[in-house]
Amino acid sequence: MISHILFDIDGVVLCKRKRLFSKVLAEEFGASEQEDMLPFFTGPFQKCLVGKADLKQELVPYLPKWHYPHTVEALTLSWFEHERTLEERILLDVTALRAKGIRCFLATDNEKYRTEYLWTNLNLKSHFDGIFASSSLGVRKSTSEFWEKAFEQVQATDRRFVLVWDDEEENVIAAKAFGLSAEFYTDFSDYSQKMAELL
């Protein structure tokens, strides 16, 4: 019997992005997405995701390259607000699941500032029992180590009773490799059908 469920945020609890923020930013301020922005996202940002660098500090030298005229705080706020559309049907289901005694958590590859924004400003803390972020665990969800650390903290009795929903195949594979139940999320209809079978 499923006792705990770990939900991915981007693409599951939050609706899939229609456009990347980097593309919007590049168009608005005349920067090159490939030459000016990609080096940040493939370089320093990757360290931020696992808590080895601070996003706001790492952004400072890139603002002139991106022709961005405002502060780092203004940039991060615009970024976080651009990617915050909730999948309300998932939240309603989570409320019903928790009412049945199933503990529900978030599992995300996110740096610390966006994690805090989603948890507090977007008020996901009122819907879930906790959050596991790559920035605090020090590893990405594509590793079994992430799921091992999350499992230790959810205090479940059996790995098989912990279910993971994620829209990235490599994360599903890693969760299964650790021994958790895991499903690939495509859309809410498919999710509902599979949940009816699993529960």
Mean pLDDT on 168-176: 97
Q: How far apart are CA 113 and CA 147, in angstroms?
A: 22
Q: Tell me what the pLDDT averaged over the chain comes to.
A: 95
Residue 83 reports pLDDT greater than 90 = no
Q: Find, among 181, 171, 124, the residue nearest to 144 by Cα.
A: 171
Residue 5 reports pLDDT greater than 90 = yes
- Alpha-helix residue ranges (DSSP H) falling in the chain: 21-29, 38-42, 44-49, 55-59, 72-82, 88-99, 112-116, 134-137, 144-154, 169-178, 188-198
Residue 62's pLDDT band (boundaries 50, 70, 90)? Answer: very high
Q: What is the pLDDT of residue 53?
A: 98
Residue 1 reports pLDDT greater than 90 = no
**Bridge-partner residues for 182, per DSSP?**
164
Task: List, for residues 118-167, the tens digit of each pLDDT value.
Answer: 999 999 999 999 999 999 999 999 999 999 999 999 989 899 999 999 99
Q: Find, among 58, 67, 61, 10, the residue nearest to 33 by Cα.
A: 67
Q: How far apart are CA 97 and CA 88, in angstroms?
A: 14
Mean pLDDT on 74-82: 93
Copy the structure tokens of residue 120: 């507090």
Q: What is the pLDDT of residue 140?
A: 98
Task: List, for residues 7-35, the tens digit of each pLDDT value.
Answer: 999 999 999 888 888 888 888 898 888 88
Mean pLDDT on 45-64: 97
* pTM metric for this prediction: 0.94
> First and final CA of the chain: distance in angstroms?
7
